[in-house]
Amino acid sequence: MRFNINWDIFKVKNPRYEDSFEEMCRHLFCRIFGITGYDFQSNYNQTGLEMEPIEFEGKYYGFQSKFVKNSPYEQIEESLCKKDKAFDIYKGNLDCVYIYTNADIKPIPTEDELQKFDKGLIKNSPRIRIYKKAKENNIDLIYITRENFSHILNEERNLDIAEFYFGIGNEIDFINSCISDEDAKFLASPKYLEIKLCNNRKEQLDTNALICKNTISLLKGDPGTGKSEILKSIFTSYGSAHAENRDMVYKVLENKVLPVFIRLKEIINGNLEEFIRVRMADYSLKIYDKNNLSYLYVLDGIDEISFDYANKISLFLMRLNKQATTYAIVLSSRTNSPNIAILKGILNEIEEFQIEKLNDTYIEKYFEMQEDENKKLRYLSLKSNRLKLIEDLDDIFSIKLLWDNIEKVNSNTTKIALIEESTKKLLINDRVYSLNILESKQEKLRSICREISGYMQENNRLSIDLRRLQQLIYNEFTNINNNDVNDIIKCLREIFFSTPDNSSEESIFTFKHRRYEEYFLYEKVKQEFLDNPRILRELNLLSNNEFMMEVFIPQMVYDYKKNKNMLGVLSISFILDYLGSAYWRKENNVVLPKRNDWGSSEPEYQLSDELLFAIAAQTPPSLELLLNDHSLPIVDYLEDKNRWLKVVEVFHRNGHMKQTQYFISLISKIDKEEQGNKIWDNCPSFLYYRYKILGTSLLDMIKSLPDISDDNSIEGYENLESPLKSMVRAFYRIVLEFEPMFIVNNFNSIPSYHLNILCDELCKIKNLTMILSNEKFKHSLKKMLLKVDNNTYDISVEVIRKLINKDMVINDQVEKYFGSINNGNIPTWDTRQQVNVLLAAVFDKQDKVLYSNAKNQINIVQELIRNFYNNQTLLMDNIIMLLQDFDKVNDFEISKIIGIIIANLKLPIRQIKRILNSINEYLKCVDLTSVFYYINENNQEMYTQLSNPGMIMRMYNETKEKGITSYYGSYTETLLRFAKMIAIYNFEESYSIIKECINAGILRPCFRKEIIVNDVLSECLRIAKENYWYSEKELISFVSRVRKMIEFMQDSTDGGGRSSYFNYVLKKYYPSLFEDYSLDEGYTDYSEKIAYGNNSNKSIKDLLTLENLKEYYKGNIEDIDYSSKELWKTLITYEKEATGKLDILFGYFKESHYPYICGFSNCEYHYIPTSILWENSNWSDKIQDFIMEQGGHASLYNIIKMCTVIGEDSLGKKYFEQFIRLCELLVFE
């Protein structure tokens, strides 16, 4: 490209054209001598010259520039030749001066002109005087005039300078438009402290390491760590926004790079290319024009846009990075944003950098630079007291909040309290006061922000669109007009939100800082929690462990304790107990209740391999992100040593070599004895490791198998099999999956005592298809089994013999075995279900089978045997005809069998799709989700051709709409299967489903024999009735609610839905409701026990000593009525009078796990001594503080029972109603 050097354009583009001309000449001059990194700030405006002379190859060079309308000579003479000007000042240190001028002149006089000047014929000629003065001082003058500029600026090395000064773009204004003047000044001030980064190799680096030519870099950090500031700092290091024009020019021309800063959340439609093009066009710049400046794209907040937008932008960045005009690309994101997986999945080569957590050294430096001695001293004072808040601060946002509010910080201040103070200050604002809404205006704006944060959390979004925001405001205010709504939005935008400058209907609003979003979310949940505990599940908060355990629970406990709100503290305690130890056991927060050792069940997903399968199904970038997301409570799942070998296998199967090696290294670090135990506990994974990872041959592996010749029987359930047999079984699983012809080629090497296990494995459907389709394998198997003695082998051997030898007749062993398992007992049949189904199929026993569901399976397997090898189309047609007669709803085993069969079909994909469409007509007996899941398990290539993301998500949404219809664990496993199936299509959806699974599967009743509803809540119903707390209508409502919970738990837990005591309470206390509300036909085996004691309180007092007092508290003294309030008064009074304290009583409370109601000595009577202390003005505060410190899942019940003793019906009702709400949170969706 050749530039037209037009000085009129120069003046238009550079309004301060004289300064700009000097800047341009300075760059041209320095480039002659190859100078880089010049110190422009200190050396410009030297006397007579534009900068200090430079030395080059033993000579000194200077330059002068003159932008003039007419002749420049007088100005040049003034600068160079006058007394105490350049020639005088630099005498002896100046050999050459370059003179740049826009004038069209001929500066060197001719010989004739010189002679005339000497003769006085030319009387006044600055041009000649300059020439002669230079000669006298032995200084060469080199003029660059208008004529020369056209050539010099079009030299290859100077094209960028020509572009900048004579091109059509307005680079300076473009740079200034990218960030605010306020930001630029802060970044240039000493108050901006650089934050250290580290790369994937854990090397500590400065922020300038982010930029490398032709590289895409990703800066990761948690909320508040300063990601945006770092990117703006990078931007200003290349563009010096809002600085003096000359400083900007120097930055750009020195690097030949024009920086472009974009907040990605401002892009409404995800079209980054169009956004950049429009932005640049506003300043007459073009994104792809091959000019002499390249672009540095600084893109802030890839985490703050939707998954779809992240995908679009990543695809565009892949193209943009290949453009000749692109210098480099740098992005920022929250550490655990799902969008990182999208970015890394599309852009293979990304350099990642992590912002390091800050420490007290940084905080001290920050306070030092703010130059406020009082605040600095206040900080040092707080630090010396080892304030927990100070120790917890590790991000720049929180440190700034500490600075802003240091005067109000004390030993009880939390991070949330800091943000609260910040919001109060922000809302003291003239725009707020001017709003046309009723007081309190600040609170109403806070209310809107709470609703916004709730909406964003519930919908898993980082922003809210303008229309939704408007609707929220209309919902908040009645009779508000449109202008007032617009004013509120402008106010919110100014204080809390970011949005594009040009708002439109498609504008989106995001909180300026995620900490504000977190704060308002906390405020919303806090405001509604006691009235609606289920808000935790409704807003999907339970899957966010970080928010729950670092923000919500400790802050709620702190706030409740501060306000003496015992109901709030005990509600949180109840939740903590049922969350389970894996959720909170690593927390060491002093405000959390102490009694959190209730043995509640761990969530079912923690016990399931399906979570591992869903995790491993992710792409490598997605997996890395998922494993690093500490907000998900799955860390303990993968930290379980018992699971490590399984993790190695599953990760390796899914191609995650980095993680595979990581877990192998973890295993290598545990001692050999423990390693051995883990191997025997995970035989299949260990043999997979040997075969697929170490490459051990099958022949070597079979030689090292344990000797099971003394006992090769098959017990039934594989999980109860001995470790020795488990290892042999694991070997044959490897053989049948990866190298089945090993049996054909080495059948003489297979010990006869292995046949039981081998044939048991061959009875499985996926291996059955292999036998039926592989004649060579079948023939070798037949030869091997010919030698078998019928009476010494397992029934599975007989079944396989019959399968491959149709002429074989049934024998006594078969008849006897069939009679033993065909007794109508489902567990007996299911012990070896697949063997039993195949036996009935090959020996034609289906008509004699008593278990109807098994008959359906047998019929399908018979069709499989008849037609799989010869006619697969007929096979599937016949199976579909069979489905018409099946009655069982969503039979899992039938669905599994069909899924495995389809996965092994050799039919065209279109035909298989037609088959699936036909099966879809019989959803009453087939679960299509399970069919697709097992297709995916057995033939992923076929699965990807048969499925699509829309279909999978529709099935998922249908499952969610149905809700929990069986065990909680079954429901969460189903969700995890969806997470696995959708992972190959959409990580965000998979990630979201995993979170949904956690949200649905956590905070649930114990799986086995939970008592909280049938026993405890039913007892509360008795108390409510007995104490006349409610009207008949209210009581019916409570009975109905408890009944629904028990009914729901009958399907979702094992024994948690027992109704015996509930029925008893209805029969005894609610006889009019018994017929309509009792469950299980009103069955009850409960009989009320009444305590009697023979000793009077007077005689007991005579027997008391400090030595035996604890035995009385513990209930170890016989013939005493421990339900007597008078007894407990006697005991407590004795201790108080004897010691002046109650240390023995409180010691007993702690030993008996107060406030437990069963399992510890006399704990069922905890409520009686509690009531005595509660009524005593000297001990009331002590017992209330103790109750709040202890916490525990039974605290609410203990208070309810206490209220019956002290006659506090309003308090008892309050706790009872909260208890019901909390139980509904446990039970329902």
Domain boundary among 540, 565, 600: 600
Tell me phi and psi for residue 185, to 5 degrees: -65, -40
Instruction: Give the mean pLDDT of 916-941.
Output: 89
Residue 325 lies in a domain: yes
* Same domain assignment for residues 149 and 174: no
pLDDT in tens, 1037-1080: 999 999 999 999 998 888 777 899 999 999 999 999 999 999 99
Instruction: Name the average pLDDT for the chain.
Output: 87
Residue 238 lies in a domain: yes
Distance in angstroms (rounded) separating the CA atoms of residues 613 and 964 = 22
* Same domain assignment for residues 213 and 152: no
Distance in angstroms (rounded) separating the CA atoms of residues 95 and 140 = 6
Lowest-pLDDT range of 281-295, 442-456, 628-642, 1214-1228: 281-295
Lowest-pLDDT range of 381-390, 943-952, 1182-1191: 381-390
User: Which range is most confident: 8-17, 158-167, 456-465, 1095-1104?
Assistant: 456-465
pLDDT of res. 42: 35
Q: Is the pLDDT of residue 575 over 60?
A: yes
Residue 161 lies in a domain: yes
Q: Is the pLDDT of residue 651 over 70?
A: yes
Lowest-pLDDT range of 399-403, 594-598, 1195-1199: 594-598
Distance in angstroms (rounded) separating the CA atoms of residues 1208 and 1200 = 9
Residue 501 lies in a domain: no
Lowest-pLDDT range of 592-606, 646-660, 661-675, 1160-1174: 592-606
Place 565 in a pLDDT band, splitting at 50, 70 and 90. very high
Q: Please, which residues bridge with residue 63 across strands? A: 98
* Same domain assignment for residues 337 and 384: no
Share of the chain above pLDDT 90, in %: 46
Distance in angstroms (rounded) separating the CA atoms of residues 871 and 867 = 5
Q: Is the pLDDT of residue 369 over 90?
A: no
Helix pair 566-579, 1209-1227: axis angle to 10 deg: 30
Share of the chain above pLDDT 70, in %: 94
Q: Residue 1055 is part of which domain span? A: 1012-1082
pLDDT of res. 44: 45
Domain boundary among 1056, 1082, 1108: 1082
Q: CB-based burial of residue 333 (10 Å sphere; 0-12 exposed, 13-18 middle, 19+ buried)?
A: buried
> Do residues 1160 and 1182 touch, judged by C-beta distance below 8 A?
no
Distance in angstroms (rounded) separating the CA atoms of residues 398 and 859 = 67
* Same domain assignment for residues 192 and 335: yes
Residue 452 lies in a domain: no
* Same domain assignment for residues 186 and 319: yes
pLDDT of res. 245: 58
* Same domain assignment for residues 246 and 156: no
Tell me phi and psi for residue 198, to 5 degrees: -135, 150
Residue 318 lies in a domain: yes
Q: How many CB atoms lie within 10 A of CB 653?
A: 13
What's the pTM value of the predicted model, to 2 decimals?
0.80
> Do residues 1059 and 1014 touch, judged by C-beta distance below 8 A?
yes
pLDDT in tens, 706-761: 999 888 888 777 777 899 999 999 999 999 999 999 988 888 888 989 999 999 99
Q: Is the pLDDT of residue 205 over 80?
A: yes
Instruction: Give the mean pLDDT of 1013-1028.
Output: 94
Distance in angstroms (rounded) separating the CA atoms of residues 578 and 332 = 38
* Same domain assignment for residues 151 and 15: yes
Domain count, the chain: 6
Cis peptide before 1155 (omega within 30 of 0): yes
Domain boundary among 551, 584, 600: 600
* Same domain assignment for residues 208 and 317: yes
* Same domain assignment for residues 147 and 55: yes
Q: CB-based burial of residue 660 (10 Å sphere; 0-12 exposed, 13-18 middle, 19+ buried)?
A: buried
Residue 620 lies in a domain: no
pLDDT of res. 40: 41
pLDDT of res. 585: 58
DSSP-H helix ranges across 682-763: 683-688, 698-703, 723-738, 741-745, 755-762
Place 413 in a pLDDT band, splitting at 50, 70 and 90. confident
Query: 210-213: which pairs have CB atoms within 8 A and are 24 or more residues apart?
Result: 210/234, 210/330, 210/353, 211/238, 211/296, 211/328, 211/330, 212/328, 212/351, 213/327, 213/328
* Same domain assignment for residues 1126 and 1169: yes
Type of residue at 1157: I
Contacts of 371 (CB under 8 A, 6+ apart): none
Q: How many CB atoms lie within 10 A of CB 40?
A: 19
> Do residues 858 and 846 touch, judged by C-beta distance below 8 A?
yes
* Same domain assignment for residues 403 and 333: no
pLDDT of res. 41: 39
Residue 665 lies in a domain: no
Which structure tokens are listed for 1026? 């007995």
Half-sphere exposure of 1142 (CA within 13 A, CB side): 23
Q: Is the pLDDT of residue 807 over 90?
A: no
Contacts of 814 (CB under 8 A, 6+ apart): 795, 798, 839, 843
Q: Please, which residues bridge with residue 1202 across strands? A: none
Q: Please, which residues bridge with residue 776 across strands? A: none
The enclosing domain of 97 has a CATH number of: 3.40.1350
Angle at 1179 between CA 1178 and CA 1182, to 5 degrees: 130
Contacts of 501 (CB under 8 A, 6+ apart): none
* Same domain assignment for residues 145 and 13: yes
Q: How far is CA 876 from CA 328, 750, 871, 898, 914, in A?
A: 57, 36, 9, 9, 11
User: What is residue 904's DSSP assignment?
Assistant: T
Q: Is the pLDDT of residue 788 over 80?
A: no
Overall size of the chain counted in residues: 1229
pLDDT top residue among 35 and 1145:
1145
pLDDT top residue among 290 and 852:
852
Contacts of 767 (CB under 8 A, 6+ apart): 736, 761
